Amino acid sequence: MYPEYMMESIKKVEQTRPKRLELAKKFGKKVFPGMSEQEREDILNNYHPDYKDDALRELRIGPNKGDKIINEVVDIMESYPRDYPEIFDLNKVDFETDVLIIGAGSAGLSAAIEASNADADVLLITKLRLGDSNSMMAQGGIQAADQSDDTPVLHYLDVIGGGHFDNKPELVEALVMDAPPSIKWLEDLGVMFDKNPDGSMMVKSGGGTCRNRMHSTRDYTGAGICRVLRDEVYNHPDKIKYIEYTAATELILDDKGQCAGAIIYHLESKQYSIVKAKTVIIATGGFGRLHIRNFETTNHYGATADGLVIGYRAGANLLYMDSVQYHPTGAVFPEQIVGFLCTEKIRGLGAQPVNSEGELFVYPLEPRDIEASAFIRECENDLGVTTPSGLKGIWLDTPLIEELSGEGTIEKNLPAMLRQYHRFDIDIREYPMLVYPTLHYQNGGLEINAASETSISGLFVAGESSGGVHGRNRLMGNSQLDIIVFGRRAGKNAAAKVKKGVQLGKLSLEHVEKYIKEVDSIGVDKKRIAPIVLPDYIPDHVKAKQLSSEFQGTLF
Amino acid sequence: MSIQREMINIYIGGELFQVPEGHTIMMAFEYSGFQLKRGVGCREGYCGACATVYREKGDYKLKGGLACQTVVTDGMTIAMIPFVPAEKPVYDLNELTPDVGTFTQLFPSVFRCVSCNTCTKACPQDIQVMDYVQALIRGDIAKAADLSFDCIRCGLCALRCPAEIVQYNAGILARRLYGKYLSKNSPELEIRLKEIEEGKYDKEIDELKKMPGDKLSEKYYSREINIS
């Protein structure tokens, strides 16, 4: 329950609610004017964390040398490998496969299904369990322009405008044109989309969409999809082998520069193995657990950007690693769920963001970076509410949903959200949620083409670890779409490449040796190693007694 | 202004540790120096990786919960479940029919349900587990799919079931059967698929791909917004 002093602010929210309800009844979603191009630019410059002077610094090595990118990403790029190349005997191959997939969220799982459908042998590895991923956690929806008042052309405009026109056009085309077929593919696999009795899709709007095109499976959309894909992977033991609790710590190339496999590491048995693969798909997700600028995150425990590190060391280039997506609505109270994602669907259903005085201050469905900046502005201008642990937030007025659409709307549409808050004695049907932007998504990543392939032959990337699809800002519902579209493309194209014939030369880790020399030349602490593999939340006074804890990330 | 917290005693695998009150079980493990590999995932109650059994001070009952969602109490004794070695039958969804016969074949244990409701009591998601098992026995796939919807596959139901049912694996099959066979097709989707196949949007998309930035921006900001 909220402490008394917070209840005082809630009273102000309750006082303005009837007026705001009237507004919503009259104008629908347009309860506040949307920002112009100039206003958007101003608010980003003044309040968005990416635009702070010290957010970025120059990367000194590798293909993107000289680019200014996010500090925390520079740290993991300018780092030493977990293990030195000379300790591995690449002549002793432990596993051989057509397609090695690193990461088992929905992108990796989709890739595995498509590659096996195309008759390729797949080895799928994940450092936690199959399906343990950000994919599983997505709540709100998946976009696809399949309604009669909508077109892929409008979807294209929304994607590229939301991305500040920095998206790679060929990738946006792939995303929007593959969207309806992807919905069909998922439904054929048994995903239960929210539908009306006549079979038509129940669709909602999201931040930055010009039509209702958000498909959902209640507020478990990510799980609704990911658990079906996982179940399907379990059903192909003949074609898809998988190994859990296993991270890829380095890619292997061959003497012709083709991608040829990976060094993999089992977290529990601590054994390394060598995988020789005709093609490799990186589907390792994003970087939320790097806690950029000390932000809390909505991300999965495994979101440490391992794929970026090993792909970059192998020579693949990065795109748009100067931008971070902060989801506008992360929980800041109660403290057990700080950072927890409060789906955009809540605003899609009509909840309005209001400040400590109960005033509506922004159009509720601006693109995420704009909306987040507006929340930060309120808090920096003393119009936020401070929690007992010192965090600030603004209100998301959920009771309005029921007043707008009737009792039971929240239980029906937001069961996960209702349950989460209920566990900590807050009924979101009666009281608003206190929220603040939370680190949510890696907009950029390793550059791919429309075939989901990088500049390195045989190296594919799909999902959050790729760059270019969303430009510098992703819209809600387009990451669930991205992982299916490009996961499938990566799987199909990797299998096709194998079918056409891949001749691997001598396996090599020369690129890692070269990279180490580059790291040596800029002088960084030898203890700075990557990939991190797992984050570390052990408090300092305990770490002081753990003799191996001087290393960043996973303990040895 | 960070708050000072009382320390409380908890017993991880029977060993005493002191942790701040208000921590979840997962936070308490980490506070105590455990770097988790198993039993940790999304940390937000969506993935089911952190099924945990615990007993509270003065109570004889063994309770189940998610480590990331359960707050520690003074005197709590805790064991995380690393893995549930339950059986998962392999099937080809294309060859199945959405009826009771599929379940008699693939999940015969479902029909051994003794209606004890232990599964429902064990579920950290408050799912009416026994009810969906009973729905499967009646061949009501739609009901089972609906009732089991919020399952996160933590495994606590199967671990407690005296009839050895693997409820969560039967639940996902029910949902997949419903999604594939029992829900009606979307007419709009079928039309759009055909349009895409016929190349209806190719020309317009191609124009957008080649459009200079200022024109594209103009087109974006002037697009009609029609949402409800």
pLDDT digits (tens, 9 = 90+) for A419-447: 889 988 999 999 999 999 999 999 999 99
Q: Which of B33, B150, B193 shows the shortest C-beta gap to A538?
A: B33
Both tokens assigned to A318: 């990065």
Task: Tell me, letter by letter, the H, E, C secondary structure of A193-233.
Answer: CCECCCCCECCECCCCCCECCEECECECHHHHHHHHHHHHH
Contacts of B132 in chain A (CB under 8 A): none
Cβ distance of A223 and B41 shorter than 8 Å:
no
Cβ distance of B179 and A165 shorter than 8 Å:
no
How is chain A split into domains, by residue range? 4-31+329-439, 85-323+443-507
- When pLDDT is cut at 50, 70 and 90, the band that residue A545 belongs to is confident
Cβ distance of B150 and A337 shorter than 8 Å:
no
A residues 379-398 near B, CB within 8 Å?
Answer: 388-390
Average pLDDT of chain B is: 95
Residue of A nearest to B4 (CA): A389
Cβ distance of A161 and B47 shorter than 8 Å:
no
The CATH code of domain A85-323+443-507 reads 3.50.50.60
Q: Which of A28, A151, A423 shows the shortest C-beta gap to B228?
A: A28
Equal fold, A4-31+329-439 vs A85-323+443-507: no
DSSP assignment letter at A111: H
Cβ distance of B179 and A228 shorter than 8 Å:
yes
Cα–Cα nearest to A489, from A457, A460, A455 = A460
A residues 166-205 near B, CB within 8 Å?
Answer: 169-170, 172-173, 176-177, 180-181, 183-184, 187-193, 195, 197-201, 205
CA distance B18 to chain A (A): 12
Q: Tell me: pLDDT of A550 over 90.
A: no
Residue of B nearest to A231 (CA): B172
CA distance B155 to chain A (A): 14
CA distance A173 to chain B (A): 7
Residue of A nearest to B185 (CA): A199
Selected catalytic residue, list A164, A347, A377, A489: A347
CB neighbours of A144 closer than 8 A, spacing ≥ 6? A155, A179, A180, A182, A183, A213, A215, A481
Q: Tell me: pLDDT of A339 over 70.
A: yes
Both tokens assigned to A27: 């104008």
* Contact between residue A49 and residue A328 where contact means Cβ atoms under 8 Å apart: no
pLDDT digits (tens, 9 = 90+) for B30-75: 999 998 999 999 999 999 999 999 999 999 999 999 999 999 999 9
Distance CA A497, CA A188 (A): 26
pLDDT digits (tens, 9 = 90+) for A7-64: 999 999 999 999 999 999 999 889 999 999 899 999 999 999 999 989 999 999 999 9
ipTM above 0.85, yes or no: yes
- When pLDDT is cut at 50, 70 and 90, the band that residue B1 belongs to is very low
CATH of A4-31+329-439, one of 3.30.470.10, 3.90.700.10, 3.40.50.1000, 1.10.3720.10: 3.90.700.10
Q: Which domains does chain B have, with CATH numbers?
A: 7-80 (3.10.20.740), 93-182 (1.10.1060.10), 187-221 (no CATH)
Distance CA A208, CA A157 (A): 10
Active site residue A327: yes
pLDDT digits (tens, 9 = 90+) for A377-386: 999 999 999 9
Distance CA A208, CA A185 (A): 26
Q: Tell me: pLDDT of A242 over 90.
A: yes
Active site residue A429: no
Cα–Cα nearest to B65, from B9, B115, B24 = B24
CA distance B56 to chain A (A): 17
